[in-house]
Each structure stands twice: as structure tokens, then as C-alpha cells.
Structure 1
Amino acid sequence: MDFAFDARTEELRKNLLSFMDEHVYPAEAVADEQRAALASPWDTPQIVEDLKAEARGRGLWNLFLPDEEYGAGLTNLQYAPLAEITGRSPQLAPTALNCAAPDTGNMEVLAQFGSEAQKKQWLRPLLAGEIRSAFAMTEPDVASSDATNIETRIERDGGGTYVINGRKWYISGAMNPLCRIFIVMGKTDPDGADVRRQQSMVLVPRDTPGLEVRRAMQVYGYEDHYHGGHAEVVFHDVRVPTANLIGEEGGGFGIAQARLGPGRIHHCMRLIGMAERAIELMCRRAVSRTAFGKPLARQGVVRQWIADARVAVEQLRLLVLKTAWLMDTVGNKGAHTEIQAIKIATPRTVVDILDRAVQLYGAGGVSQDFPLAELWAAARTLRLADGPDEVHQRSLARRELKAYL
């Protein structure tokens, strides 16, 4: 078993680490200052556009997409350590590399299931970083952890038009002025016998009449500006051509599962990067602060926190890399158990590491002067996003028990 990175991954890692040190970390404070001076909090600070230009010039662009026609052609195993590095600055780095959700998942959907016309109109500008996008699935009035509950209706009105009615919320990317297209999941056959064939996905341009971005949704008080925010969106008699259907009618559930698989491993690797930054911050704090007559670094409980964090991160990384390897070798279905395992273990563990880091920083840990509070909010949210812990535990246990029942 070879644990070394291949030559291409190592080259990209060195390039990306240099980019982070020279450009991303110094830009964090600048981005906050520039955002405060913008006319709208949802506008993009100039420093973000500068980072995107620098990343593209370095060849650090669309690294997430394995299809060589559209992306860098990296395997999941090659991309995983790069996603980890970007997780150390999750607000800036993924966006700078055009590797930020929800655009990544939307581009994967279009690349895999979109028609040639859809790819030309929407995938190409997304790949170029010229526009942003949103993915509209979650709804406030039903338990959206069960996607078969979705109530949004996509109905035919004559031969060539769909009419969409429904209410969504926490629609990532929708507040960004550059968001030009929504991928909307709703039911085209609500009474169908197979509950997993009732849903479809359609493309809805943002400027379509009847599409209302009603309000921004906060996450633990944060608005998540760099990912385009999260919005409540209402569709009232929204009309789009049936040519805007992605794939086939009834294929929405399957497309959603195909979209979420890679997204889960991307999230988990970025979470490991967040944990690594937390450990670094813990160590810096521990050697620079004194309490009760000796540095925090000599306090037994602090050493325990740091040691436990290191052990946990090493365990998580190995599991996530194994999952990436399985996805590459036997496919997402073959890696189903491992994908669920990392989705359960990684956010939960990283939240705990960040919580210890916050504790070590005291009042500073919950303040805006350090990144820990925002990192904690992001990690805690990922115990819900792409399926809550309990849904993955339910499915994983069912799979384990199957042979014994």
C-alpha cells in the first residue's frame, strides 16, 4: 500500500500551498475590509477577483471536475488533498479556484446529464467563472432529509412548457448578483407508484418571471457571503421550456444522488483542512499565553486536546482518502458505505476539534477577530447539509444489518 502522492498531485499541492501562503491568507483581512465598503453585502470584493485571476494563471482552476473536457481531469484521490488545503480558508480558497459549492455540484450535473445546448448556455460560463449558480432542493414545510417529501410542482402546460410552483429555503448561491441560473428539483409525477421516480430537475434562469428571491437566510448569524449566501426562494407560476429539463422526467432523485456523492467527499476534505488550521491556531495560542504561572502549552488538558485532535485528523484523513480511492476504482455505489461513514464522522469530529480551539482562545474564540467561530458554524452546518447524520446512520446500519436479517 503506497501512501505517497503521485507526481501530478505533489506538483499541484506545492503550487497550491504557495498560493495560499502568498495570496489567500493575506487576502482574508483585505476581503473583510473591502466588503464593508461595498454598496451591497452580496457584491464580490475586488480581492476575490484578483485571487481568481492569480489562481487561473497558476493552473489552479476547476480542479474538482474529473472530466478532462471540462476540468483538470483529476481523480477523487488526486483532488482530495487539494480540497483539504482549500479548507484552511474555506471562504476564499474554494471560490478563488472556481471549486466552491454549489457551483461545483451544478457543473458536475450539467457535465454529466446536461444537453449540449444546456452545456453551451450554462456550463461554459460557469467553468469560466463568469457566472454563479444555485441549487434549489430543500424546502421549509417538509422534512427535506427525505427528498421524496418535496412538494414543489413542475407541471406541463401544453406541449412545450413547464410551470413551477413551490417554496425553497437555504438555497446556496442565490443571493449572489452573479447567480444566473437555478437547478430546481420538484415533482413532475407526484402520484407515481415509485416515490424515487416522482422528481425531476429543471433549469430556471434567475430573471424568469415569478421567481422571487425573498430573503437571505443566516447560518448561526453568518450570511456566508463568499458562497453567495443562502436564500428563501419562491416559485410562483414560473414558466420555462421543457427543453430546460435535465436528463429525463423522473430522473431527479438519481441525479441528486449522483450530485451529492462527490460533494460529500469534497466537504469532508475541506473539513480536514479546517481542523488542521484549528490545530495550528491552538498550538500558536498555547505557546503564546500564560495562565496560573505557566504557558498554556504546559497545561495537561491543553496538551490532551492537541494530541487528541492530531489523532482524530489522521484517522479521518485515511478514511476519506480510502473513500476517494474506492470512488475511483469501484464507483460511488461501491463506495456507498465509506461515503456515509466519512459524512457521519468528519463533521462531528471537526466540530469537536474546533470547539476545543474556541475554548482555548476564550472570548477571542467566539469573536470576529479569529476565524474559529465562523469555521465552527460552517462545520456544524455540515452535520445537516447533504443529508443529516441520522439519515446516513440509518442507511449505513441497514446495510450492515442486511446480511443478518
Structure 2
Amino acid sequence: MDFEYSPKTRELQAKLLKFMDDHIYPNEKAYHEELKANTEAGRRWTALKVIEDLKPKAHAAGLWNLFLPKDTAEASGYQGAGLTNQEYAPLAEIMGRVQWASEVFNCSAPDTGNMETIARYGSDEIRARWLKPLLEGRIRSAFAMTEPEVASSDATNISTRIERQGDDYVINGHKWWISGAADPRCKVFITMGKTDPDAPRHSQQSMIVVPADTPGIRIVRPLNVFGYDDAPHGHVEMYFENVRVPAGNMLLGEGRGFEIAQGRLGPGRIHHCMRLIGLAERALELMCRRSLSRVAFGKSVAQQTVTQERIAEARCRIDMARLLTLKAAWLMDMAGNKVAKTEIAMIKVVAPNMACQVIDWAMQAHGGGGVSDDFPLAYAYAGARTLRFADGPDEVHRNSIAKWELGKYGSYGRDADAAVTRGS
């Protein structure tokens, strides 16, 4: 395994770091001020000018659609940066240092996963209608999978029905934690539901493309995470009530939902984990700077042994998480998602837990300010903590890892394969 970054990655890293210094960090305060002003004016669910103004700059700098891999770009007829998972991973880390930065580069979830899904599995008509405006950043999208009535960590539980009626499919179901659904720019959903409850367990589910303006889609409410509603993007509870779409909107065919999920979630987990590593790096930087500037009991906080232990432990944990994630990305590129399933599951456990702990230590070093909005740490913690659920909770991934490990010594590990596509 060679983890030296390619010349293309190093060039893009330099460009990204400069863009972050020139445009992202200087606009962090403006971002929160605009968000507050929109809230006070009753315009909370509108696109933020600070982000929209930066998108053309990112495009002009050649930092647009960096996530789109070469094979997907070639299959869809559209062009991205053409990077492998291993090449893109360190770029996701840089963007992850500020939680809203990825959108500036058209590299934010759930759009990245949805674009890859449409590019890989959508018809020419679906690609023309939805992929082009998504790649151009003119619209956004959502992925409708998780449901409140069932434990969605086991995706075979999903109870939303997708029923064929003539030339259409009719969708009925109750979803929640649907990221981006409240965003006024959200124009399309990729929705997971059951087409055949009597089929074999992993052939019951399908994915279908649903335009956001289709009659019968009802948004109930935005959901808060530790008090944050994450507007204007948001995560909502919603219903599909007799939502009718053309049969041609079905992706890949009935019963292929798990197959699509496996292709979608592998790269997405790399993206999530590397962004978390970037978030943890930022937290460690803030912890070091703050602890050097504060004095307690006659010496700086940085001179306190407990602070030094936490800084050292944070450094170790971040670097270990990065190396494990890069290994997973490398293995995906070399041998495919299925071969890398254990490593993908491992990083999904390791990275969110690492980030939560490092951010927690950073908040502690900041004192009371660490839990306020004067610093980005509280919001960062809320985001990192949710990723112990998103794309599958810790428990599911640990269970799978243990079964695969046991499988080396017997047959028990075979039952774990189905869990690789379980997400939230």
C-alpha cells in the first residue's frame, strides 16, 4: 500500500488550502451572521448568499465536482475531477474542516451520493433531467430512506410501499431524517421502499427517482440535532401520500435497492469519515491555540498535564483514523467495495467516535466558550455525533466486523454480508 498522494491530489490540495484561507475561513462569521439575520426576518429556509457567492469562485478555480470518479463520469457522459477514492479522500478532509464548505465545491452530502447513484444507475432520460443541473449546482437533492416506525438500521425493515399501477409507480410511506428535503433548492428525491414484500429478504426493496414537486409529498417539520435545525439544508419528517411517478423513474429495476445502496454507501462513507477527520484536525488546532492563550493556576492551560495528554491522544487518534480510512479507500480502488467491506465498516465506527472525543476535549479546553456559538466546536460536535447513526449506527458496523472476524474461523461470518448496505 502506497499512501503517498498523487501529483494531481497534491496540486488540488494546494488549491483547496488556499481557497479555504482566502474565502472559507474569512466568511465563517458572515455565514452565521446571515443565518441569524434570515432567522430574524423569517427567511430561515432560503439559500445563503455567502455560499452562493463562493460557488462561482470555486468553479473558476477548478475545484468543482471533485468527488465524481472517473468511471462514473465516463459512464454518465459528464466530467468530474476523475479522482480515485484514495485521491479524493485528502481533499474531503480539507473541506471537512468547516462543515458548510463542501457545498461551495458541489461536494456535499447527500448530493454527492445521489449524483453517483443517478450517474451509475439512471436511464439516459433521468441523467439528462437531474444529473446535469445537480452537477452544475443549480439544484439540490435528498435521499429518502429512514423511517420512524421501524428500526431503519436494518434496511429490510423499510415499510414504504412502491406499487406498480399501469405505467406508473405509486408511493406511500412515512420518512424522517431526510437531509436536504426542506431546502427550497431540493428538486428531486431518491426514495427507497418495498416493491415486493414476498420476495427474498434482500430483493424486496427498490429505489426510485421522485421529483420534489410531485403531488402527495408532505413535509411535516424540520428535526433538531442538539437544538440545531441545520437550515437552510435541514433534516425533516415527511410523508409520501399516493405519490405517482412514471415507471421509467425506477433505478436499475425492481428489487435492486440493496445493490444500489452498496454502490452508493461505500464512497459516501469515505467522504463522511475524511470530513470528520478534517473537523477533528480543526478542533485540535483550536484546542492548541486556546490552551496556549489561557492561564489557570499560575500556568497556561497547555502546560497542564491533562491538556498535554489529551493533545497527544488526539494526535494519535486522528492519524490512526486517517490511515485506516486511506487504507479503505485504497482497497476500494484496488479490489472493489465488496472486498473492502470490513475496512469500510471499521472506519465508520472509528472516525465518528474519534471526532466526538477530540471535539469534546477541545470544548473542555475552551471552558464555557466551548459550548457556545462563539466557537465552531458545539456545532461541530452535533454534526459528528449524528454520524454515529448516519450510514448505519455503530452497533450494526461492529456486529458486522465481529461476524466477519469470526468467519475466519467458521461459517458465522456469512450472515454479516447483508449488513453492509444498512444505513440511516
> TM-score, structure 2 length as denominator?
0.93
Structure 2 match to 1:281: 286
Q: Distance in 1 between the 2:219 and 2:155 partners?
A: 22
Deviations 1:296-325 (A, max 9, x none): 111110011101100111111111111111
Q: Distance in 2 between the 1:98 and 1:260 partners?
A: 18
Structure 2 match to 1:21: 21
Q: Are residues 54 and 340 of structure 1, via their aligned partners in 2, closer, same or farther at CA, if it must alter by over 3 Å?
A: same
Q: Distance in 1 between the 2:79 and 2:247 partners?
A: 25
Task: Give 1:2-401 correspondences, 5 Å limit.
Answer: 2-38=2-38, 39-67=42-70, 68=73, 69-91=78-100, 93-157=101-165, 159-192=166-199, 194-225=200-231, 228-401=233-406
Q: Distance in 1 between the 2:335 and 2:408 partners?
A: 21
State the secondary structure of the residue aligned to 1:385: coil
Q: Which residue identity is paired with 2:5?
A: F
Q: Which residue identity is paired with 1:45?
A: L
State the secondary structure of the residue aligned to 1:246: coil
Deviations 1:321-352 (A, max 9, x none): 11111111001111111101111111111111
Deviation at 1:98, TM superposition (A): 0.3
Contact 1:282 1:360 in 2 (8 A): yes
Q: Distance in 1 between the 2:352 and 2:66 partners?
A: 23
Q: Which residue identity is paired with 2:364?
A: Q
Deviation at 1:2, TM superposition (A): 4.1
Contact 2:3 2:326 in 1 (8 A): no
Q: Distance in 2 between the 1:141 and 1:70 partners?
A: 40
Deviations 1:74-101 (A, max 9, x none): 001110000000110012x100000000
Deviation at 1:35, TM superposition (A): 2.2
Identity of aligned residues (%): 58
Structure 2 residue runs without a partner (length 5+): 411-424
Structure 1 residue runs without a partner (length 5+): none
Q: Distance in 2 between the 1:398 and 1:300 partners?
A: 40
Q: Which residue identity is paired with 1:20?
A: M
Aligned residues: 401
Q: Which residue identity is paired with 1:164?
A: I
Q: Distance in 1 between the 2:244 and 2:180 partners?
A: 21
Deviation at 1:4, TM superposition (A): 2.5
Q: Which residue identity is paired with 1:187?
A: K
Q: Which residue identity is paired with 1:186?
A: G
Contact 2:68 2:116 in 1 (8 A): yes
Q: Distance in 1 between the 2:6 and 2:110 partners?
A: 28
State the secondary structure of the residue aligned to 1:270: helix
Contact 1:35 1:44 in 2 (8 A): no
Q: Which residue identity is paired with 1:209?
A: P
Deviations 1:22-60 (A, max 9, x none): 000111110111222334212112110111111101010
Q: Distance in 1 between the 2:79 and 2:377 partners?
A: 35
Deviation at 1:166, TM superposition (A): 0.5
Contact 1:165 1:238 in 2 (8 A): yes
Q: Which residue identity is paired with 1:334?
A: V
Q: Which residue identity is paired with 2:147?
A: E
User: CA RMSD, aligned part only?
Assistant: 1.0
Deviation at 1:156, TM superposition (A): 1.2
